[in-house]
Amino acid sequence: MRDTRSNDRVNDPEPDETLRSDADHLTTRRLPDSFALPINQPPTQPMKVPTAGAIDCDIHPSVPSIKALLPYMSDQWRDTIAQRGVHELETIAYPENAPLTARPDWRPVQGRPAADVATIQDQALEPFATSFAICNCLYGVQLLMGEDMAAAFAHAVNSWMVANFLDQDPRLRASIVIPTQDVNLAVAEIERRAEDQRFVSVLMLVMDENPLGRRVYWPIYAAAARYGLPICVHAGSAYKHPVTSVGWPSYYAEDYAAQAPAFHNLVSSLICEGVFAKFPDLKVVLAESGITWLPAHLWRLTKFWRGLRAEIPWVDKTPTEVAREHIRLTLQPVDAPADAKPLERIMDHFGSDDMVLFSTDYPHWQFDGDAALPDGMSVSLARKIMVENPKNTYPRLK
């Protein structure tokens, strides 16, 4: 009963084949090299496509401690934080000892990973020979309940970023941390930082208090569009809600995997609420989202949109087409099996070479050695991902 004009079948993946190649892969997989190496010694692996000149769209300097932020706060907030005994804004997004939080050879003997510019130069900039690296600081600003305190912390993190990183190495760029708790204060922080061209995007978390397509956030998008700043939506939660829609999981593995469904919801929200109809020049970068889930989610959204588009007539082309125009994803973590074939198929499913942006996700442990580029990417696609796509996404990197 299917008509060939419907592309439902054309787009259907062949699940059996995919599963088979996945299973084959498991039987031949070798352990990551770092399993055999002592901590703090970088493993050696041949690099297939050199990353020299690449733009790394997602690295994570750590705030070493709350003390590092105090110089960038007003006297009142400095005193308040001391009086109240406010401790570190550590979140459960990246627990200190979780393997993911820092690769063994990037984990310092003491203190937090990636906490100073020299470390980032040695571990992130030099080994990959990147031309630029965009710092997305994941300090727990978005978790605070107090709007004014959140604004004070966001401001302090951005000032700390300027003084300790952007002023220290010309290759570093950063996303503006904003207090999404109060949209007006968030816009004010964007306006304060926008003049500094080294801030190249605006940072939000995928699980905020509301779905990010909601109009309450639109002044943020208006400001970002005004200043030529894409929105970088990073994995993580403000923990105003459980990380799954039916409640809290028990284990970290569940929590980290649950980022992907949160990104599904984000993509639906941004498209259906009309963010891209309202802000046609806006691009949204999904950072640390993984990449394999997006084509399948867009098939699903497009399938249902065909019958439900009258609810959202501002979505006047398929959600897949809207996403190709406006959504970008950072490369790491690549969540495909490690052999080339499944990834090649997935890249085909995107139907576009424009959407993926190179990232190492430093210092998170997503790969070993300098193998930031997975197998299954042609040299030309790799170059596009490393240079051309980031430049087309971040106007300030041109």
Partner 1 sequence: MPKYVVASTMDIPPGARKLVEVRGRLIVIFNLNGEYFGLLNRCPHQGGSLCDGRLVGLIEAGSEPGEYSYSRAGEVVRCPWHGWEFDIRTGQSRCEPDRITSTQYQVAVETGEVVTNGPFFAETFDVSIEQEYVVIEV
Chain residues in the site for partner 1 (CB under 8 A):
1-3, 5-8, 215, 273-275, 277-278, 305-310, 312-314, 316, 318
Q: Which CB, 20 or 215, lies closer to partner 1?
A: 215
Helix (H), strand (E) at residue 305:
helix 293-308
Distance, CA of 68 to CA of 51 (rounded, Å):
32
Nearer to partner 1, 50 or 274 (CB): 274
Instruction: Give the nearest distance from C-beta 118 to partner 1 in angstroms.
Output: 47
- Tokens standing for residue 342: 């499944």
381 burial (CB, 10 Å; 0-12 / 13-18 / 19+) is middle
- Residue 389 C-beta: closest distance to partner 1, Å: 27
In whole angstroms, give the CA distance from residue 121 to residue 157. Answer: 20
- Residue among 47 and 225 whose Cβ is closer to partner 1: 225
CB-wise, 55 or 223, nearer to partner 1? Answer: 223
Which residues, other chains included, contact 155 with Cβ-Cβ below 8 Å and sequence gap of 6+?
72, 73, 189, 192
Which residue, 118 or 308, is less far from partner 1 as judged by CB? 308
- Pick the closer one to partner 1 by CB: 4 or 27: 4
Q: What is the DSSP letter of 29?
A: P
Query: What is the rounded CA–CA span in Å between residue 383 and residue 9?
Result: 32
Q: Which is closer to partner 1, CB of 113 or CB of 319?
A: 319
Instruction: Kindly state the smallest distance separating residue 339's Cβ from partner 1, in Å.
Output: 35
Q: Which is nearer to partner 1, 77 or 279 (CB)?
A: 279
Across the strands, what pairs with 202? Answer: 176, 231
CB of 5 to partner 1, least distance (A): 5
User: Given the complex with partner 1, which of 32 and 213 has the nearer CB atom?
Assistant: 213
Q: Which is nearer to partner 1, 137 or 275 (CB)?
A: 275
**Shortest spacing between CB 307 and partner 1, in angstroms:** 3
DSSP state of 247: B
Q: E strands, 25-151, where?
A: 55-59, 132-135
Give me the least distance between CB of 284 and partner 1, in Å please.
Answer: 16
Least gap, CB of 210 to partner 1 (angstroms): 16
82 dihedral zone (left: phi>0; alpha: psi -120 to 50; beta)? alpha
CB of residue 214 to partner 1, shortest distance in Å: 11
Relative orientation angle of helices 75-84 and 147-161, to the nearest 10 degrees: 110
Minimal distance, residue 74 CB to partner 1, in Å: 38
Shortest spacing between CB 79 and partner 1, in angstroms:
44
Cβ within 8 Å of residue 141, ≥6 positions away: 89, 150, 153, 154, 157, 177, 179
DSSP states along 326-392 = HEEEE-PSP-S-SSHHHHHHHHHHHT-SSSEE----TTS-SSSTT--SPTT--HHHHHIIIIIHHHH
Q: Give CA separation, 80 vs 17, 28, 76, 155, in Å.
A: 60, 57, 6, 16
Task: Give the helix/strand (H/E) hosting 207.
Answer: strand 199-207
